[in-house]
Structure 1
Amino acid sequence: MSIFVDEVTVEVTGGRGGNGKVAFRREAHVEFGGPSGGNGGHGGNVYFIGDEGKNTLIDLKYNRHIRAKDGTHGQIKGMHGANAPHTYIRVPLGTIVYDDKNQLIGEILYHGEALLIAKGGKGGRGNISFASNKNQAPDFAEQGDLGQKFVAKVELQVLADVGLLGYPSVGKSTLISVISNAKAKIAAYHFTTLSPQLGMVRVQDDEFVVADLPGLIEFAHLGVGLGIQFLKHVERCRVLLHILSMESDNPFDDYQKINKELELYDEALKDRKQIVVANKMDVEGAKEKVDALRKELKDVKIFEISALSKEGLEELKHEIVNVLKEIPKLKPKESTRVYTFSEEKDSPFIIKKADDGVFELSGEKLFQLFNRIDVNNESAIKRFSRQLRELGIDDALKEAGIQNGEIVRIFSYEFEYLE
């Protein structure tokens, strides 16, 4: 028996780009050997890919650290390093991914659909890329950029055309087992269904997916019973099949309470299309109860069925098909995530004075530049210093009140400020 997991957090890391190479041509009969260090390859991306054969996030629960491979380093003779292969993680349809700032990255609605989760870093440039008329023999190269790294929140909202709605033991599991290919557990006690069951229903040339969702009870919107775990899966169903048991003392009261729970959880759900079904019409007194229900729900068409004896099922299935033809397919949620630096272009760095009196420089753009340098290469350090001046850091430090001889810290690197 598989465990149903519909929410998990995972750390995702794009691969780091390979380092550029510092090399020079050393060939016979070549009097002036120029730079020949190649560029590093790009790091791999992390993708989630939709798999209609999966219905739980259990794989991610036991794979909390997902890391793409790094690009290979540049080589001599101008040979570039190979790009790393991308990493693909298969997830169920209906998977929604948020980043560590709770911004939506995207969701997966279709089989084979790939969603970019974390980008790999660009490969560093080798010294052959820095050759110019002014510097014909550069003796430095760039290191590869780091890949994106963050803790992602992954949620699953079961994707189904039709969701079965109703109190526990109204016959949802029996119904899905007789109209679809789902093999649901059936018993006469609360919460038989502890995880959603999906089944495919075929009606002549049409088909739809139906979900038997965990039983709903009063105060579910507050987390009572299976509460929120149930309700969040209702959001993605295009049609709700509201099943009422004629064994209940008051089916109309059940109908009102279930709809109230939906509205309290998400007001938009009160407008979701519902098909009302009176189940267990084979029990004693069912006819009187359904007649009383029709008096209360004057403008609602009620379908009478017995899932156990399979009566009334064909008419119900045709009604579902007709209703689904009038309801548009789900649109994906709109992502707010943009794969660029969050710093503004006119403010690529931040200056603050730390508790130890050191002037600290930070910022995503600055972090990227810093990670590209080899701090053990004097030429690379000089180039980095020029980049800092071009960013306006010298002027900004003066405005911040720095004095000659004070220390500046850029991440793990410290230097003395000299005018």
Structure 2
Amino acid sequence: MATFVDRVVLHLQAGDGGHGCVSIHREKFKPLGGPDGGNGGHGGGVLLVVDQNVHTLLDFHFRPHIKAKNGAGGAGGNRDGANGGDLVLKVPTGTVVQTTDGQVIADLVGVGTTLEVARGGRGGRGNASLASSKRKAPGFAELGEPGERLDVVLELKSVADVGLVGFPSAGKSSLISVISAAKPKIADYPFTTLVPNLGVVQAGAQTFTVADVPGLIPGAATGKGLGLQFLRHIERCAVLAHVVDTATLEPGRDPVADIEALEAELSAYGGLAERPRIIVLNKIDIPDGRDLAEIVLPDLEKFGWPVYQVSTATREGLQELVYALARLVEEHRAAQPVLEPTRLVLRPHAVDDSGFTVERDDEDVWVVSGPKPERWVLQTNFDNDEAVGFLADRLNRLGVEDKLAKLGAQAGDPVRIGKMEFDWQPAVLDDFVPTHRGVDERLEDKPHRAKAADRLAARKMRRVREEGDTAGDFAPDPE
């Protein structure tokens, strides 16, 4: 038996980019073959796509850990690695994507709506792509960029034109089963409906959808019963229909009291005050129910909403009700603003926007933030001196060195870019012509590296003591 799931937490991991390749072409009688290392493939992203054949989040309930494919590494002979294919996740229309702290990322409504929720990492360039007039045979390649990793919450809010609300056993499931082709579970006990049911209703040339929401009870907006769990499914409804049981035998229950109690819960939930209402007095096929419906008609006039008496057993009054709902839905659709075609808005960067920022934190560390320097650090192999020198040259061309000097940074000051921390040594940025692959003469004297690692380890140990953690949980970051 299928299970309805309308809220899941997904643990997403986009694919990592493949590493670039370091390779030199070697062939008999061609001593200067040159670099031929290929680029790494891009990692696959995670996409959410609205599909008309999906109506629940059940698949993600059993498979919450999602991982896209990594890009393949480059190879010699100028062979680029294959890209990791994007992972497409099909979701029902009305899916709201949120962060774990409740911030809405996107509201996916409409078949075909697509969202790239986790971006795959870029593939690293091979040494063939890094060759230049000065660096003719690079002895290094870029590492692949890690793919995005994040947790998101998917929450389904049913998209329906009419929402049927009422107490348990008011006859909502029976009503939707006779006016549409929906076949919900129907029984003579409370809370028979445990999940929302959707049905398509035809009224002449008009077609609209109806949602049967599980029964509400007083206190539903605060979590009592099933109401709070499913009240979200009537947020998108254009019309709300109060289905009232006129033949109930429960003491203290009458149509007016039922409607007032339901309106109190809808008001407490919020956001539904402006929706048009309609009152459906159900079960008039029972003599006591018909008598009570006639008695309470004057009392229901205070609400100012249309009232219809129906019987799902004999189908009395259903045609008038269906056409009344169709008129209300049509009025709502006509009142909606006409959507204009989407226009692409180009917002160029300011001429003085360097693309990065430099700030000093509480620990007197210069923190460089920006997409380019952070990505470059991730793509640098710090075990290769030539790669480190290439990174320094790139940061210098971007203006990071000038910015640090302008703000008063001194040689030897700690600088952090992303998760890497090192000492600032502007002397290594002189014009440089490489001599041997994988070697940078400017970095042969490396006392600042050991000094930076020792200071980083000491800072972490001090933080451990302050937080009362165990020293064994921390170790110096690798260069």
CA distance in 2, matches of 1:362, 1:132: 27
**Quick check: 1:21–1:74 contact (8 Å CA) kept in 2?**
yes
Structure 2 counterpart of 1:94, one-letter code:
G
Pair 1:409–1:115, CA change in 2 (3 A):
closer
Aligned with residue 352 of structure 1, among 361, 383, 386 = 361
User: What do residues 300-348 of structure 1 show as CA deviations (whole Å, max 9, x unaligned)?
Assistant: 321111012221212222222232222239999xxxxxxxxxxx96544
Aligned with residue 255 of structure 2, among 251, 256, 259 = 251
CA distance in 2, matches of 1:237, 1:167: 18
2:18 aligned partner: 18
**Partner SS for 2:280:** strand
**Partner SS for 2:272:** helix
Residue 379 of structure 1 deviates from its aligned partner by 1.1
**Partner SS for 1:281:** coil
CA distance in 2, matches of 1:114, 1:282: 48
Q: Which has the larger radius of gyration?
A: 2
Structure 2 counterpart of 1:270, one-letter code:
A
Residue 44 of structure 1 deviates from its aligned partner by 0.8
1 or 2, which has the higher helix percentage? 2
**Quick check: 1:259–1:270 contact (8 Å CA) kept in 2?**
no
Pair 1:4–1:284, CA change in 2 (3 A):
same
1:341 aligned partner: none
Q: In terms of mean alpha carbon deviation, does 302-311 or 280-289 score higher?
A: 280-289
**Partner SS for 1:328:** helix
2:225 aligned partner: 225
2:444 aligned partner: none
**Quick check: 2:243–2:280 contact (8 Å CA) kept in 1?**
yes
% of aligned pairs identical? 39
Structure 2 counterpart of 1:263, one-letter code:
S
Aligned with residue 328 of structure 2, among 299, 323, 326 = 323
- Larger RCO: 1 or 2 (CA < 8 Å, sep 6+): 1
CA distance in 2, matches of 1:29, 1:275: 89
2:213 aligned partner: 213
Pair 1:105–1:203, CA change in 2 (3 A):
same
CA distance in 2, matches of 1:116, 1:199: 31
**Partner SS for 2:11:** strand
2:464 aligned partner: none
Residue 188 of structure 1 deviates from its aligned partner by 2.6
Residue 70 of structure 1 deviates from its aligned partner by 0.9
Q: Do structure 1's residue 261 and structure 2's residue 265 form an aligned pair?
A: yes
Where do 5+ consecutive residues of structure 1 fail to align? Answer: 333-343
1:387 aligned partner: 394
**Quick check: 1:353–1:360 contact (8 Å CA) kept in 2?**
no
Q: In terms of mean alpha carbon deviation, does 192-201 or 320-329 score higher?
A: 320-329
CA distance in 1, matches of 2:278, 2:285: 20
1:146 aligned partner: 146
**Quick check: 2:355–2:370 contact (8 Å CA) kept in 1?**
no
Pair 1:270–1:33, CA change in 2 (3 A):
same
Q: Do structure 1's residue 312 and structure 2's residue 321 form an aligned pair?
A: no
**Quick check: 2:22–2:141 contact (8 Å CA) kept in 1?**
yes
CA distance in 1, matches of 2:366, 2:113: 43
Pair 1:169–1:150, CA change in 2 (3 A):
same
Pair 1:229–1:100, CA change in 2 (3 A):
closer
Residue 22 of structure 1 deviates from its aligned partner by 1.9
Structure 2 counterpart of 1:384, one-letter code:
L
Aligned with residue 278 of structure 1, among 276, 281, 290 = 281
Q: Do structure 1's residue 165 and structure 2's residue 165 form an aligned pair?
A: yes
1:370 aligned partner: 377
Structure 2 counterpart of 1:91, one-letter code:
V
Residue 52 of structure 1 deviates from its aligned partner by 3.1
**Quick check: 2:22–2:139 contact (8 Å CA) kept in 1?**
yes
Residue 213 of structure 1 deviates from its aligned partner by 0.8
Structure 2 counterpart of 1:259, one-letter code:
E
**Quick check: 1:107–1:115 contact (8 Å CA) kept in 2?**
no
CA distance in 1, matches of 2:272, 2:211: 17
CA distance in 1, matches of 2:326, 2:220: 29
**Partner SS for 1:170:** coil
Structure 2 counterpart of 1:252, one-letter code:
V
CA distance in 2, matches of 1:241, 1:400: 65
1:294 aligned partner: 297
Root-mean-square deviation (CA), in Å?
Answer: 2.8
| TM-score, scaled to structure 1 | 0.86
Q: In terms of mean alpha carbon deviation, does 214-223 or 53-62 score higher?
A: 53-62
CA distance in 1, matches of 2:291, 2:130: 88
User: What do residues 16-49 of structure 1 show as CA deviations (whole Å, max 9, x unaligned)?
Assistant: 1112222223234545322222222211111122
Residue 187 of structure 1 deviates from its aligned partner by 2.2
1:339 aligned partner: none
Number of equivalent positions: 404
Pair 1:232–1:293, CA change in 2 (3 A):
same
Where do 5+ consecutive residues of structure 2 fail to align? Answer: 340-352, 427-479
**Quick check: 1:170–1:244 contact (8 Å CA) kept in 2?**
yes
**Quick check: 1:100–1:150 contact (8 Å CA) kept in 2?**
no
User: What do residues 337-393 of structure 1 show as CA deviations (whole Å, max 9, x unaligned)?
Assistant: xxxxxxx96544554355xx8x47464634322111111221111111223444555
CA distance in 2, matches of 1:4, 1:364: 43
Pair 1:153–1:360, CA change in 2 (3 A):
farther
Residue 281 of structure 1 deviates from its aligned partner by 1.0
CA distance in 2, matches of 1:313, 1:161: 17
Structure 2 counterpart of 1:232, one-letter code:
R
**Quick check: 1:215–1:230 contact (8 Å CA) kept in 2?**
no
**Quick check: 1:221–1:265 contact (8 Å CA) kept in 2?**
yes
**Quick check: 1:216–1:230 contact (8 Å CA) kept in 2?**
no
**Quick check: 1:351–1:397 contact (8 Å CA) kept in 2?**
no
CA distance in 2, matches of 1:35, 1:46: 34
Structure 2 counterpart of 1:291, one-letter code:
E
CA distance in 1, matches of 2:105, 2:422: 39
CA distance in 1, matches of 2:355, 2:119: 24
Residue 408 of structure 1 deviates from its aligned partner by 5.1
2:125 aligned partner: 125
